[in-house]
């Protein structure tokens, strides 16, 4: 069975071809893309993923819990940082308020954060969530950056706070 | 008595005219809904309430004015205290109060009518109430959506302009799906009309939806496919099958009609992921999912959305590698069918798919040529002639080119 990959990201619409193309072309992965937190929760409740790459600026989707959380935090993706709440739920740090139990198979080591936020802005929170891999999205990143990140996570290469 | 009949008549005519003005200025699709015989009565009742209130205030004004001039000592009907009270009130003040009340009513009636009939919101609220009436009245039954009003809602969505107008109707359809799916007696077969109606709302000519409309429709399908049924013992997959079929169909429509939009790749991806979720949630529907992936992938390829086509092929191959039990032969046919479309789509596509074919071949139960023939026959029988033609072409060309071309 091919490794299952989940990328939770909503703002790469203009870059999908360049970032996802190499993954489809490789044919090595069962790749899934969720564009909001509600859909991401549905995916992790339905399937078990070897690797999850998560953006921090995410829209809530249709689930009332995430919608309310989003509103409480200013109704602004950059401010709400629902990605952090999602990871927090996934790794079991904060799953009481949501009322759903996070899947037991989730390992923080297999979660990567791929976001525009700099390490100085979110590094401490990411470390608190025990996530080891963080890559900052920058204008000049290569087309294969996502594929490389996935492969690093699969191979267990950690690079905390490297801000690649 | 010094009654301003002209003033009273003006207010009366204005109040009669308010509903007519609001309806006249409505969008045609909304007016059609409001003026249907069943709803026309509601409209008259609502307008009648305001007119009755106006008449009542006018009556009170005239009666009070009459008391002002009455001989209170010889009054038989009104109590003397009331008569003496109004006798002392200046007549101008009485009519000032009456006209102030009439102005207030006119403003309130205008606001209420504009809210109720001026735009989508009020009409959608009315339709919502009508559609879920059977559910509200009989929560002990399997949820059932009132068909006539649902048809009206779908028709309203079909005639609405792409973008925000359609989005409001889709939001209402989403809300109805939520209501039904959370009913204790929902068993997975109450949403057929609504799901099929989505094709009308988003994908039917002449007003095909925007990318946002298509994505919302896909999210409705996703909700249908993943909602937790309360009534697990009588669980059925009818709604799921309709949702898969409609997801494939709408994905095709999006691929054809949103060509110029920059977000088309992402929109098609949303459809692919919905189908992916369906295959995991309902493994027994795998052949429906594979059929939808073939249709969506081949249309995307035809329209030049290569990433979406690659995504569809990727998902088909993953399904093919992890088949549900018992294995369904349609899965092999659909996978080879999409491979054949790639084969027919140019040199690079052919080279790409030749490499992916290696992954497929290891799981085939017969030699590739025999499987391709079988798939071609199956596609011809199920009226997918274009796919059958591509398979035929691949059968003729594969053996020669597989040797000649090295995979990329």
Q: Which CATH class is domain B120-327?
A: mainly alpha
Optimal mutation site among B173, B223, B277, interface A, most CBs of chain A within 10 A: B277
Is it the case that residue B337 has pLDDT exceeding 70?
Answer: yes
Q: How confident is the model at residue B41 (pLDDT cuts 50, 70, 90)?
A: confident
3-state SS of B1-46 is CCCCHHHHHHHHHHHHHHHHHHHHCCCHHHHHHHCCHHHHHHHHHH
Alpha helices in B118-210 (DSSP H): 120-131, 133-137, 147-159, 164-181, 192-198
pLDDT of residue B1: 58
**Crossing angle of helices B264-281 and A16-26, rounded to 10°:** 40
DSSP-derived secondary structure letter, A161: T
Q: How confident is the model at residue B406 (pLDDT cuts 50, 70, 90)?
A: very low
pLDDT of residue A159: 47
The span from the CA of A132 to the CA of B384, in Å, is: 49
pTM (predicted TM-score): 0.83
Q: Tokens in use for A121?
A: 């802005």
The span from the CA of A56 to the CA of A10, in Å, is: 10
Q: How confident is the model at residue B408 (pLDDT cuts 50, 70, 90)?
A: very low
Using an 8 Å CB-CB cutoff, list chain B residues near A1: 321-322
CATH of domain A4-155: 3.40.50.2300
Yes or no, beta carbons of B265 and A17 under 8 Å apart: yes
A64 interfacial to chain B (CB closer than 8 Å): no
Residue pointed to by tokens 């109720």: B116
CB A3 within 8 A of CB A27: no
Using an 8 Å CB-CB cutoff, list chain B residues near A30: 314, 318
- What sign has the CA pseudo-torsion A59, B171, B223, B140? positive
Q: Which residue ranges make up each domain of chain B?
A: 5-117, 120-327
The mean per-residue pLDDT over the stretch B10-23 comes to 85
CB A91 within 8 A of CB A102: yes
ipTM of the complex: 0.86
Yes or no, beta carbons of B174 and A16 under 8 Å apart: no
CB B318 within 8 A of CB A3: no
Is it the case that residue B279 has pLDDT exceeding 80?
Answer: yes
Yes or no, beta carbons of A46 and B226 under 8 Å apart: yes
pLDDT of residue B404: 52
CB B276 within 8 A of CB A32: yes
The mean per-residue pLDDT over the stretch B244-249 comes to 96
CB A107 within 8 A of CB A137: no
Q: What's the longest Cα–Cα distance across chain B?
A: 120
CB B392 within 8 A of CB B338: no
Listed as ranges, residues in chain A with pLDDT below 50 are 158-164
pLDDT of residue A162: 47
């Amino acid at each position: 069975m091919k490794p299952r990959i989940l990328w939770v990201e909503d703002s790469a619409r203009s870059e999908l071809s360049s970032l996802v193309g190499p993954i489809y072309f490789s044919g090595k992965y069962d790749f899934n893309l969720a564009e909001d937190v509600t859909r991401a929760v549905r995916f992790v409740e339905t399937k078990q993923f070897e690797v999850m790459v998560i953006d921090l600026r995410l829209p809530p989707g249709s689930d009332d819990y995430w919608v309310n959380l989003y509103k409480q935090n200013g109704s602004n993706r950059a401010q709400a940082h629902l990605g952090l709440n999602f990871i927090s739920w996934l790794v079991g740090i904060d799953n009481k308020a949501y009322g759903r139990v996070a899947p037991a198979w989730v390992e923080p080591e297999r979660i990567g954060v791929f976001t525009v936020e700099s390490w100085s802005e979110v590094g401490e929170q990411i470390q608190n969530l025990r996530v080891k891999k963080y890559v900052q999205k920058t204008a000049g990143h290569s087309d294969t950056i996502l594929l490389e990140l996935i492969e690093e996570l699969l191979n267990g290469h950690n690079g905390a706070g490297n801000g690649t | 008595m010094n009654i301003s009949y002209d003033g009273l008549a003006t207010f009366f005519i204005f109040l009669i005219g308010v509903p007519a003005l609001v309806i006249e200025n409505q969008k045609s699709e909304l007016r059609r809904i409001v003026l249907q015989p069943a709803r026309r009565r509601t409209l008259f009742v609502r307008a009648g309430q305001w007119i009755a209130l106006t008449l009542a205030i006018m009556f009170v004004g005239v009666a009070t004015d009459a008391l002002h001039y009455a001989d209170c000592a010889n009054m038989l009907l009104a109590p003397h205290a009331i008569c003496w009270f109004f006798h002392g009130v200046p007549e101008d003040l009485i009519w000032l109060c009456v006209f102030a009340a009439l102005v207030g009513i006119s403003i309130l009636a205008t606001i209420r009518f504009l809210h109720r009939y001026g735009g989508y919101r009020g009409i959608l609220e009315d339709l919502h109430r009508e559609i879920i009436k059977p559910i509200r009245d009989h929560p002990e039954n399997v949820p059932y959506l009132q068909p006539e009003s649902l048809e009206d809602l779908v028709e309203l969505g079909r005639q609405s302009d792409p973008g925000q107008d359609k989005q409001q109707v889709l939001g209402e359809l989403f809300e109805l799906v939520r209501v039904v799916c959370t009913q204790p007696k929902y068993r997975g077969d109450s949403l057929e009309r609504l799901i099929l109606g989505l094709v009308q709302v988003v994908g039917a000519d002449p007003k095909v939806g925007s990318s946002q409309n298509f994505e919302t429709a896909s999210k409705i399908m996703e909700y249908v496919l993943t909602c937790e049924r309360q009534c697990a013992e009588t669980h059925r997959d009818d709604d799921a099958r309709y949702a898969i079929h409609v997801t494939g169909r709408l994905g095709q429509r999006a691929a054809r009609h949103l060509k110029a939009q920059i977000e088309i790749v992402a929109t098609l991806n949303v459809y692919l992921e919905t189908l992916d979720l369906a295959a995991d949630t309902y493994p027994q529907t795998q052949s429906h999912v594979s059929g939808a992936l073939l249709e969506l992938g081949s249309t995307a390829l035809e329209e030049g959305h290569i990433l979406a086509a690659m995504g569809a092929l990727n998902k088909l191959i993953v399904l093919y590698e992890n088949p549900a039990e018992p294995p369904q032969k349609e899965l092999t046919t659909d996978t080879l069918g999409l491979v054949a479309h790639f084969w027919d789509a140019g040199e690079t596509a052919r080279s790409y798919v030749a490499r992916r074919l290696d992954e497929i071949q290891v799981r085939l139960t017969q030699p590739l040529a025999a499987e391709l023939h079988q798939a071609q026959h199956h596609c011809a029988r199920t009226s997918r002639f274009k796919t059958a033609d591509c398979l035929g072409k691949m059968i003729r060309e594969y053996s020669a080119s597989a040797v000649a071309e090295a995979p990329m």
